[in-house]
Amino acid sequence: MDLIPDPRRAWPAQPGAGAFPLDGETVIEAGPGTEGVARWFRTAVGAATGLPFADDAGVIGADDNRIVLGISPDIARELGPEGYRISVDAAAIRVEGGAAAGVFWGAQTIRQLLGPDAYRRAPLGPAREWSVPMTLIEDAPRFGWRGLMLDVARHFMPKDGVLRYLDLLAAHKLNVFHFHLTDDQGWRVEIKKHPRLTEVGSWRPRTKWGHRASELWEEKPHGGYYTQDDIREIVAYAAERHITVVPEIDIPGHSQAAIAAYPELGNTDVIDTTSLTVWDTWGITANVLAPTDNTLRFYEDVFEELLTLFPSTFIHIGGDECLKDQWKESPAAQARIAGLGLADEDELQSWFIRHFDRWLAERGRRLIGWDEILEGGLAPGAAVSSWRGYAGGITAAKAGHDVVMCPEQQVYLDHRQASGDDEPMPIGYVRTLEDVYRFEPLPPELTEEEAAHVLGTQANVWTEVMQDSSRVDYQVFPRLAAFAEVAWSDLPAPAERDFADFEQRMAEHYRRLDALGVEYRPPGGPLPWQRRPGVQGRPIEGAPPNV
């Protein structure tokens, strides 16, 4: 059936079973709690097929021509809330889930069974016939956190592009959208109490073209931001697709855009922060937040507004790559270290993180940050995004902290996909489709009890060299399909995975991506217009370390 991700079990409804035809008389019977799934199916699949999929209420003679959606306590017990069972026979297509999310993932599978043209936005012709093979499928995800992190701070993605990516996540049964909203190069979310964050912080005068060692510049302003209504729309759109949006606001490093907008947030006793602008190049800047009460209150204001926009339990605070040079030189920072009885600047960063861990916990939320938040001691309720390898996640899980595994060497999709000279702006290690397919989120060092702290896994997309959605598509796809199967399916050990079978199923999946308009990297290499000749990257040779 060429499904991606591969389901747990699938078999024909009976020997020689045929197909269930869909036509203008096919109705949807939506059980309690599944009304949103029915609405999505009518909107998305209805647009592609041209079929109305009317509500079954009051429809006469539709007993043998219906799609039945329902929530089943039995499936919840057997397969969990995101599990589902599909049964297609001569009378109906039945999709049952442990909860509405399970029904939705089952509906996504039905869409795959309809064929690639079910992913289009309008029917190709009135004579097209649609059918679903008579089959039985039982399925459930391996991990509860199956995420994609998209960096919109380095290069802004307009709202419509974000909504499109939510649809792409849903099509791959991914359920977490980690929304990286702020960095040195841009602040992307409206904060009404501090308007200069977007008035000043959302735009930079020019942009480095390629890796930071490149001599090329794009000499035009770049920027943009999401209004609070934009954010509400994005969050609601995601929720309809059973995707949680986890916002990230970077502290105390990666904050130059905020300091450019409000210079008092920086270390004013070390540099003239009024001279700072939104950063126009890449790398790690020394301009970090000052550890002052004013800074804490300012970011409490930011998070107060953020919590009204994002219902996610987890709020990401970054915490990575915070250079301590200015703190070492700052009399105010050194006085803060002494006054708090801290040992060094690492413990000062930990104090910063712990403050917001307590603050968020008091409001019923949980802090999550990159694995540098382990330095100087981790706040008791904090969770860790393990990005520098597996080590941070292993340390955190062994200490009883929840973890999302997203090691750079394995699932940073900004890393190049091949070693050829045609790869556009090549960054990092070669991570092929097969490499991603053989990624294993659970390190063998963890006991069963410790492994229970691994919430799941996430692929990350940093956009320094991705100036538009075409470049993002190229880097993300087709590898996101392999990652989605790793996150969802109960696969064997990496060396034992049947990549040939996955490649065979990908032949059909490429057609789905074509129908969706995804500008993926073709298996044979980049197309002429996908290349960026003469733009410097930062390729790293050899196999990535397993750290």
Residue 245's beta-bridge partner residues? Answer: 177
- Is residue 321 flagged as an active site residue? yes
Distances (CA, A) of 374 to 285, 324, 340, 447: 21, 15, 19, 20
- Is residue 269 flagged as an active site residue? no
For 431, half-sphere exposure in the C-beta direction (CA atoms, 13 angstrom radius) is: 30
Ramachandran class of 397: left when φ > 0, alpha when ψ lies in -120 to 50, beta otherwise: alpha
3-state secondary structure of 327: helix
Ramachandran class of 199: left when φ > 0, alpha when ψ lies in -120 to 50, beta otherwise: alpha
321, 346, 422, 508: which one is catalytic? 321
254, 316, 401, 509: which one is catalytic? 254
- Which is nearest to 408 in space by CA: 428, 424, 378? 428
Give the distance from CA 414 to its chain's centroid. Answer: 13
Q: Which helix H or strand E contains 119, and what residues bound it?
A: none
29, 139, 151, 183: which one is catalytic? 183
> Which positions ≥6 away from 499 have C-beta within 8 Å?
434, 437, 438
Cis peptide before 478 (omega within 30 of 0): yes
- Is residue 509 flagged as an active site residue? no
User: Buried (b) or exposed (e) across 22-38, using 16+ Cβ within 10 A?
Assistant: beeebbbbbbeebebbb
What amino acid occupies position 545? Answer: P
Which residues carry out catalysis?
Answer: 183, 254, 321
